[in-house]
A and B are shown apart, each in its own frame.
Chain A
């Protein structure tokens, strides 16, 4: 796809509304066209998900020591229930 992606097509691609073949053609174009790749990055959506991902990273750091402890307990429970580890 040498021609740049139209605004409407890019919006539909970003919203996963296009048939697979059309999406594949757009992706092939995005690989080589920086202007269209940057336009994709400007599409709305994803901000809320990214905020949740960053928040998750912080909360997982808080309980990491507890999860390390739990890993040892997991082995104990598994061995109680099944005998030995898989």
Chain B
């Protein structure tokens, strides 16, 4: 049971530039949809409206990257702040659209539909919370791809789900030492990956 670590390639944002790299786009959608979905729901959108806000945000991201000819320049602004702005605006658009529709149909308006809920300072905090969660989720997914499945399973069973090292060792047919080492190595790698991802995309 060995812990092999590989490094990431060109940053995702750089691969997205120009808008023609379909695999980069797919990676982007997989990486960011959970964040955008969680954020839209935290701002109070029901499921179908959250779907719409996420789709509209993704399309806006693609349109911007398609027009981008120069590498992403962090000194001119951070991707995270830009994405947060787009996501908030799309949530607001959907809420206002639904409120107009409800009024036309003389239905009850969604609470807070007219309020600038997405523009409140709380929205920024919620986005940051989901951003950090998303970095962690992506780092864990990457580590799970990098290491021997038994190493990751040992980590998951012991460190995340609280099974004793002895039980995990017996179940997986490894030593207790390997269980302790797996926990340490994976936490170390996750910490490093979260930092790298935040530096590249934050």
Residues of A in contact with B (beta carbons under 8 Å apart): 14, 16, 27, 30-34, 37-38, 40-41, 43, 46, 49-50, 52-57, 59-60, 63, 65-67, 69-70, 73-74, 77-78, 81-82, 86
9 A/B residue pairs, CB under 8 Å, sorted by A = A30-B180, A31-B177, A41-B184, A56-B133, A59-B133, A60-B137, A73-B54, A81-B25, A81-B62
Q: Does B37 lie within 8 Å of A66, measured CB to CB?
A: yes
Q: Which of A41, A43, A57, A66 contacts B160 (CB 8 A)?
A: A57
Q: Which of A33, A38, A63 contacts B34 (CB 8 A)?
A: A63
Q: Which of A34, A66, A82 contacts B177 (CB 8 A)?
A: A34
Cβ < 8 Å to A, chain B residues 105-158: 132-133, 136-137, 140
Q: Does B37 lie within 8 Å of A53, measured CB to CB?
A: no
The interface bits of chain B over 54-95 (1 if a CB of A lies within 8 angstroms of the residue's CB, else 0) are 110011001000000000000000000000000000000000
Q: Which of B37, B59, B165, B187 contacts A49 (CB 8 A)?
A: B187
A16-B133 Cα distance, complex, nearest whole Å: 23
